[in-house]
Amino acid sequence: MKNLKTLVLIAFCSSALLFTSCEEEPTCNVICDTNYERTVDCTCERILADNEILISENISSNTTWTADKIHILANRVSVVDGATLTIEPGTIIKGEEGIEANATALLIARGSKIQANGTETAPIIFTSDADMIQPGQIESPNLAVTSSGLWGGVIILGNAPISADASSVQIEGIPPSDQNGLYGGTDISDDSGSFTFVSIRHGGADIGEGNEINGLTLGGVGNGTTIDHVEVISNVDDGFEFFGGSVDASNLLVWNQGDDAYDCDQSWSGMIDNYIYIAGANSDHGLELDGAEGADVASFTFRNGSLKGFTAGEGEYIDFRDEVRCDIRNSYFFNFPSLADVELDSDGESALWTSGDITVTNLEFNTSHLTEGNLTIADIFADKSETLDAFADRAPDAQIVDSRSLGANRDDFMGWSLAAVTGELSDF
């Protein structure tokens, strides 16, 4: 009897297995992106190497990213008010590809902090998920330096004053629905942390028509924050853009951006010391300098810069706009196109030049590579206003040279920057 029961049970189980195996599998139309695999429940799951961590949630408590792991941004990740993100020297952060609402970025919200402090021998690198770079490397083994728009960028926001019609506004590149994108306040000494020896590459993803993310965006960042030894390479939009705030920065480098290398808005009141620019074929201005968008006005300073144009491109030296107030000093410009100029954009800037609110001090322009175009200081400095000729009233403190006697100190970029490692600083 026992054997008969066993045979019946075996026969039943075999029939059940046969029936199950003959059932049609459910249809799944999900197609997964590269580096993802489709699961049995028709979702996509990231395929991670042993040394990779996927970051897809906002950071709401103190967190450390360690150099032994590659941290992959799956979307826009915000460090929210009250939290601090610490990134160890040598850490690599990669952003997945995405545009519009799916653009990846790291956002440091008002009231939070980032402590990202690399070293000369172990810089922190932000790059694309397509980059096969591994910890300990500075140069990508597979991605062309000129590749751009493969992810978003880094955004740091603070509570320092801005010149706008509201005490706080939404930063460009972040949808209005994300309140972590607000910046501005009343604390000139606001501290958003420290960001040093950092390389940001291949960013600038488009989140909407004409709205890309800058390499490093600083909105309302206070002078309690440290920004030092940072390079931005092959970003679709600007390299660095300052929206108000009072933060100072030093040892900055931009290479092959798609728009402006250094862009200043909303009465930023800080100073940049020791800066380099290397134009690409599609680069626009070396310096695009904008003034206030409200009643409060402030002035800023650029000093000790070396700026290399792209002779066959259409890039410009400097554009003074929107009644900006600033001083550009001790800077050297070379290899720019024949029609590049230093431009007062309208009557407002022309009047501010005449009053001494816009100044240039000890600038050098090397035009020895040109045979036509803007070859003299009188040619280079262009007043585009309708009624004034400000440069005739007050001549710029600038001269034509065959070689430089001032500018940036390239030694501060050697060893840690991709520009130095690939030999792009040989002319500086």
Write the pLDDT tens digit of every residue in 48-74.
Answer: 999 999 999 999 999 999 999 999 999
Q: What's residue 174's pLDDT? A: 85
Q: What is the mean pLDDT of residues 98-112?
A: 89
Neighbouring C-beta atoms of residue 362, cutoff 10 Å: 15
Statement: residue 89 has pLDDT above 70 = yes
Q: What's residue 243's pLDDT? A: 96
Q: Which CATH architecture has domain 52-421?
A: 3 Solenoid (2.160)
93 touches 106 (CB < 8 A): yes
Whole-model pTM: value is: 0.91
Statement: residue 18 has pLDDT above 50 = no
Structure confidence by residue, pLDDT tens digits, 256-266: 999 999 999 99
Q: Which of 34-38, 129-133, 187-191, 375-379 has the lowest mean pLDDT?
A: 34-38
Three-class DSSP category at 11 = helix
Statement: residue 164 has pLDDT above 50 = yes
- Cα dihedral sign, 189-194-198-202: negative
Half-sphere exposure (Cβ direction) of 398: Cα atoms closer than 13 Å: 28
30 backbone dihedrals φ, ψ, rounded to 5°: -70, 130
**Residue appearing with tokens 């590809």:** 97
Statement: residue 385 has pLDDT above 60 = yes
Q: What is the mean pLDDT of residues 76-95?
A: 98
Statement: residue 1 has pLDDT above 90 = no
Cβ-based neighbours of 7, under 8 Å, separated by 6 or more: none
Q: For residue 22, what pLDDT band results from cuts at 50, 70 and 90?
A: very low
Q: What's residue 320's pLDDT? A: 98
6's tokens:
């066993």
Q: What's residue 31's pLDDT? A: 78
Half-sphere exposure (Cβ direction) of 57: Cα atoms closer than 13 Å: 5
380's tokens:
């280079």
Q: What is the mean pLDDT of residues 360-377?
A: 98
240 touches 204 (CB < 8 A): no
Q: What is the mean pLDDT of the chain?
A: 91
Statement: residue 2 has pLDDT above 50 = no
Q: What's residue 88's pLDDT? A: 98
Q: For residue 37, what pLDDT band results from cuts at 50, 70 and 90?
A: confident
- Return the DSSP state at 26: P
The Cα 265–Cα 243 span in angstroms is 5
- Of 102 and 195, which is predicted with more confidence? 195
Structure confidence by residue, pLDDT tens digits, 282-336: 999 999 999 998 878 999 999 999 999 999 999 999 999 999 999 999 999 999 9
Statement: residue 210 has pLDDT above 70 = no
Structure confidence by residue, pLDDT tens digits, 238-275: 999 999 999 999 999 999 999 999 999 999 999 999 99
Residue-level length of the chain: 428
Q: What is the mean pLDDT of residues 166-177?
A: 84
Q: For residue 21, what pLDDT band results from cuts at 50, 70 and 90?
A: very low
Q: What's residue 20's pLDDT? A: 45
Statement: residue 40 has pLDDT above 90 = no
Statement: residue 32 has pLDDT above 90 = no
Q: What is the mean pLDDT of residues 185-212?
A: 90
Q: For residue 19, what pLDDT band results from cuts at 50, 70 and 90?
A: very low
Q: What's residue 24's pLDDT? A: 52
Statement: residue 75 has pLDDT above 50 = yes
- Among 222, 218, 216, 253, CA closest to 237: 216
Statement: residue 93 has pLDDT above 90 = yes
Statement: residue 167 has pLDDT above 50 = yes
